[in-house]
Chains A and B, each alone.
Chain A
Amino acid sequence: MEIFSDVRNILRLLSGLWVTLRISLTAVGLSVPFGVAFGLLMTWKNPVCKVLSRIILEFVRIMPQLVLLFLAYFGVTRAFGWNLSGGTASVIVFAVWGTAELGDLTRGAIASIPKHQFESAYALGLSKLHVYLNVILPQTVRRLIPPAINLVTRMIKTTSLVVLIGVVEVLKVGQQIIEANRYTFPKAAVAVYLVIFFLYFAACYPISLAAKKLEKRMNG
């Protein structure tokens, strides 16, 4: 642990963690509007739209996130000649993944709203837009929040994979610190990886706890 007597090392790790968090939070920010829109699209009864959205959803959910990252980082470059940086590729992948997952959660939440809510709202003479905006969505959001918060922790955890497509984030910074101190602290690796382990824990645990609390309050 003596490697962290130099405060700069801790600061470097924290700046690495920030890279991870920035990628996941940007992706979360993008997936909220797109995810809700995708969820609404999936409740639409048009057969073509239903099949198409189902295929997209299953593909994104079945593929390991690392495969999606490879597809965006290596595949897109090759197929279209766009030179995406590792960071951009990861934001795109996590936004797409988040949109699919949140879309499915939204679809489930809308489906769980009793049918009479729609029918009563229409019977009261509300337009379709008003029914969704003022009656259905407010109830959907309540059911959606706990699983959506859980999705955020999953996204933060999964962002650790971006190191494998060359983004300099907390694990890479950790490796750099270990290499730079190879001769002064040859055993630093344990301490550095342990600190990274607990940094992730510190980032995710409060969010998981909040999700659990909210879930209990809504059920109870």
Chain B
Amino acid sequence: MDWSFIVKYLPAYTEAAGLTLRLAAEGIALSLIAGALFSVVLYLKIPVISKILNAYIGLARNTPLLVQLFLLYFGLPKIGVRLSGETCAIIGMAFLGGAYMAESLRSGLEAVERIQYESALSLGLSGAQTIRYVMFPQGLAIAIPGVTANIIFLIKETSVFSAVALADLMFVAKDLIGLYYSTGEALIMLVAWYIIILLPVSLLASYAERRIRRSGYGNI
């Protein structure tokens, strides 16, 4: 093990980890927003739009992110749509994540008893108020395990971004292996960084899950 090598290239990894984290945060934020909107549409079974959304969810959940990125990054420029690697990455994450989040949140909303919805309406709340103040807080609590699993899944999926020329952790590791044959050191730093990023998220997720189960929110 060559420690001077590790010390020398640690800054490169730190920078790459920053990029991974930033892209993951942006992608997850977008997919949560999209997923929340979609889940409400699906829950209310709004005629045409929910059919379209179901088709979209089927497509997004049954194709790999890598293929989606290739289509965006290498395919679209041929018909005149030129996107930067970063834009592609974020669009791809939002496309994929939106579908996963929509599914989890919808099943959360559906697990809330129907009587909650009807009582809120009969108390004179508007439809939007019912969703916002009555259904969503309860549905979200039920959906937390699914949502956190999706967040971890999406962070892991960022590892394919090196394929669209983004200098993330995978990219740096591959670079160092190719340049200096220092495979052991490069891989150890790679694994260490992913543990540093993902272990706290994973621990936080299981904490949140336990917390929610104990609180027994609503009618669970």
Contact = CB atoms under 8 A, between A and B. Distances in A.
Contact of A157 (B63, B158, B159): B63
B74 interface: yes
Given A74-B177, A161-B160, A193-B74, A67 B64 contact: no
A36 B140 CA distance: 33
B44 to A, nearest CB: 21
A: contact size bracket: 35 or more
Contacts of B195: 62
A78 interface: yes
Interface string A56-80: 0010011111110011001101110
Contacts of B152: 62
A100 to B, nearest CB: 14
Contact of A208 (B61, B177, B198): B61
A140 interface: no
Contacts of B187: 70-71, 74-75
B213 to A, nearest CB: 15
B67 A160 contact: yes
Interface in B171-211: 173-174, 177, 183-184, 187, 190-191, 194-195, 198-199, 202
B218 interface: no
Interface stretch (B28-36, B75-83, B122-130): B75-83
Interface stretch (A110-118, A129-137, A141-149, A183-191): A183-191
Interface in A168-188: 171, 174, 186-188
Contacts of A153: 62
Contacts of A122: none
Contact of B170 (A61, A70, A157, A187): A70
A59 B205 CA distance: 16
A171 B184 contact: no
A71 B191 contact: yes
A158 interface: yes
B199 A62 contact: yes
Given A67-B190, A70-B173, A201-B62, A75 B183 contact: yes
A18 interface: no
B220 interface: no
A200 B170 contact: no
A192 B75 CA distance: 8
A194 interface: yes
Contacts of B177: 74
A65 B156 CA distance: 8
Contact of B183 (A74, A190, A200, A204): A74
Contacts of A208: 58, 61-62
A4 interface: no
Contact of B159 (A66, A193, A197): A66
A19 interface: no
Contacts of B79: 187, 190
B143 to A, nearest CB: 17
B37 interface: no
B10 interface: no
A33 B139 CA distance: 37
A206 B84 CA distance: 34
A122 B77 CA distance: 67
A187 B78 contact: yes
B159 A75 contact: no
Interface in B153-174: 156-160, 162-163, 170, 173-174
Contacts of A66: 159-160, 170
Contacts of A193: 67, 70-71, 74-75
Given A71-B187, A189-B77, 5 more contacts: A161-B160, A190-B78, A193-B71, A196-B71, A201-B59
Interface of B: 58-59, 61-64, 66-68, 70-71, 74-79, 152, 156-160, 162-163, 170, 173-174, 177, 183-184, 187, 190-191, 194-195, 198-199, 202
